[in-house]
């Protein structure tokens, strides 16, 4: 414990501008109060809402007309819908990872970012959940996936990874929500106490569950938080592991690989952090949170990305080695085709974004250069989308019988619904920024120098 304290004191402070408890509360809370929302917020929000509406319309048309409006064909039965699903779920990883695992490891630097990281997680998972729902041929009987008693005396097939998926992602979503909400309670109380309007007061009050900040409450709160952190930690690993089973359990060359679970988790963390980075930098800029989200935070995240990026890169290499080493002609062929076949363009985009770009973070300069890390984070997100595309589509396009090989072309509906999902994401995210403290007030206070019992160092 003390060692970490030492470390923390030696390292540059987690919060700069030497704020007081009061100023912290003020700075963060005011974002949800007063003049807000400003024009900029409205512009973004309406844009997001527009996209959301577009997605809704496209989905209605999809359900009306059938999945044929997408570019799917016979060998390629899963296209963008599944790619987007995996991508969004991946992004949904950072939040819980940061809040839960880093919490358990007492990584205090998480405090300024965990709140919106978690929010992001939840919204990302919501986006993710849309896709498996709509990609099936007969949406109206999707409930057959759930074990409900029925006159057919039929049960779902518990051997199917898709079913595991439903449960895994469902659980993850629920727990993340709880975790996030529990974390919010003290801050909601703060907002309640600060709020002037009746309605505001009532709403915050309702969700603050009558928080008074008493000792016992804090005690219980910390316990609950710790337990939830304990529960979510394995989930962080399990979700994407199970998602990866959708592929790994099948026999499609390029899918059927034991390396998938760790590989997917690493990828998920990778993309998750990239997204946190992107959003963090924007929020930081707009809301002048430089004092809370300091360069130190960003740099640490860059380090994580460098690590996970290399893990992913290693996985790519590993796949090729295994393919070559196995001597399995189908396996070998699929990887040769990935790198040099009709989808080479997608493959090399992926390699560039996910493996080459992060290498820059070996240099401190790059790690601390905000414009660069902003660009990098976006490139990484693109790269990670392509990773899922490469895995899903290219493997299907050229499997066992060359006679069935075909090429996948997306339609405007593939693209539209994907773009629309950002609408869903940002609508919620902007609402979050508007009405909830984007940074965990109480936790940040916890890492202020003043919070250190030895503050001032008299004794």
252 binds another protein (CB under 8 A): yes
78 binds another protein (CB under 8 A): yes
401 binds another protein (CB under 8 A): yes
CB of 436 to another protein, least distance (A): 24
Please answer whether residues 89 and 125 qualify as being in contact, where contact means their C-beta atoms are separated by less than 8 angstroms.
yes
150 binds another protein (CB under 8 A): yes
CB of 211 to another protein, least distance (A): 26
8 binds another protein (CB under 8 A): no
Distances (CA, A) of 436 to 57, 203, 313: 29, 12, 37
Residue appearing with tokens 């390292």: 11
397 binds another protein (CB under 8 A): yes
Among 11, 43, 46, 154, indicate the residue that binds another protein (CB under 8 A). Answer: 154
Q: Which pair of tokens denotes residue 267?
A: 């990828």
Looking at the Cβ atoms of 160 and 233, the one nearer to another protein is 160
Residue 86: closest CA among 389, 378, 406: 389
Looking at the Cβ atoms of 410 and 449, the one nearer to another protein is 410
72 phi-psi bin (left φ>0, alpha ψ -120 to 50, beta other): beta
CB of 119 to another protein, least distance (A): 22
CB of 178 to another protein, least distance (A): 17
170 binds another protein (CB under 8 A): no
CB of 40 to another protein, least distance (A): 34
Among the listed ranges 22-30, 176-184, 234-242, 329-337, the one in contact with another protein (CB under 8 A) is 329-337
Q: Is the peptide bond before 37 cis (omega within 30 degrees of 0)?
A: yes
Looking at the Cβ atoms of 318 and 329, the one nearer to another protein is 329
Q: How many residues bind another protein (CB under 8 A)?
A: 60
CB of 231 to another protein, least distance (A): 22
Give the integer Cα–Cα distance in Å for 343 and 408.
10
CB of 254 to another protein, least distance (A): 11
Q: Give residues 231-250 in contact with another protein (rule: CB under 8 A).
A: 246, 249-250
Looking at the Cβ atoms of 77 and 213, the one nearer to another protein is 77
Looking at the Cβ atoms of 393 and 444, the one nearer to another protein is 393
22 binds another protein (CB under 8 A): no
Among 138, 220, 285, 454, indicate the residue that binds another protein (CB under 8 A). Answer: 138
209 binds another protein (CB under 8 A): no
Contact residues: another protein, CB under 8 A: 65-68, 71-78, 135-138, 141-145, 148-157, 159-163, 166, 246, 249-252, 329-330, 333, 342, 396-409
């Amino acid at each position: 414990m003390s060692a970490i304290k030492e470390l923390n004191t030696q390292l540059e402070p987690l919060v700069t501008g030497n704020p007081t408890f009061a100023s912290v509360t003020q700075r963060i809370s005011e974002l949800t109060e007063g003049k807000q929302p400003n024009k900029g917020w409205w512009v973004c929000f309406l844009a997001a809402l527009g996209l959301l509406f577009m997605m809704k319309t496209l989905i209605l048309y999809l359900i009306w007309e059938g999945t044929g409006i997408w570019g799917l064909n016979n060998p390629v039965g899963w296209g963008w819908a599944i790619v987007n699903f995996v991508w969004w779920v991946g992004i949904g990883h950072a939040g819980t990872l940061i809040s839960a695992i880093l919490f358990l490891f007492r990584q205090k630097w998480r405090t300024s970012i965990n709140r919106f990281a978690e929010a992001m997680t939840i919204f990302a998972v919501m986006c993710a959940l849309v896709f498996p729902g709509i990609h099936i041929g007969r949406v109206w009987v999707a409930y057959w996936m759930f074990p409900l008693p029925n006159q057919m005396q039929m049960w779902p097939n518990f051997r199917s990874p898709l079913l595991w998926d439903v449960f895994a992602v469902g659980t993850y979503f629920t727990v993340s929500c709880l975790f996030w909400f529990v974390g919010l309670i003290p801050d909601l109380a703060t907002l309640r106490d600060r709020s002037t309007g009746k309605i505001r007061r009532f709403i915050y009050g309702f969700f603050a569950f009558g928080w008074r900040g008493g000792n016992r409450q804090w005690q219980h709160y910390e316990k609950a938080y710790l337990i939830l952190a304990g529960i979510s930690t394995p989930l962080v690993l399990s979700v994407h592991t199970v998602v990866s089973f959708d592929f790994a359990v099948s026999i499609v060359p390029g899918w059927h690989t034991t390396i998938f679970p760790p590989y997917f988790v690493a990828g998920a963390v990778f993309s998750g952090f990239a997204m946190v980075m992107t959003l963090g930098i924007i929020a930081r800029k707009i809301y002048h949170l430089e004092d809370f989200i300091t360069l130190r935070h960003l740099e640490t995240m860059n380090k994580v990305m460098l690590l996970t990026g290399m893990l992913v890169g290693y996985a790519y290499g590993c796949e090729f080695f295994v393919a070559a080493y196995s001597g399995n002609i189908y396996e070998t062929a699929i990887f040769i085709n990935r790198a040099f076949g009709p989808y080479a363009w997608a493959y090399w985009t992926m390699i560039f974004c996910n493996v080459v770009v992060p290498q820059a973070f070996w240099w401190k300069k790059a790690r601390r250069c905000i414009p660069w890390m902003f660009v990098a984070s976006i490139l990484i997100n693109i790269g990670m989308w392509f990773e899922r595309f490469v895995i899903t589509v290219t493997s299907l396009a050229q499997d066992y019988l060359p006679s069935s090989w075909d090429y996948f072309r997306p339609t405007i509906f593939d693209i539209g619904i994907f773009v629309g999902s950002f609408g869903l994401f940002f609508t919620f995210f902007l609402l979050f920024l508007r009405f909830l403290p984007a940074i965990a007030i109480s936790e940040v206070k916890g890492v202020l120098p003043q919070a250190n019992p030895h503050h001032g160092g008299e004794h």
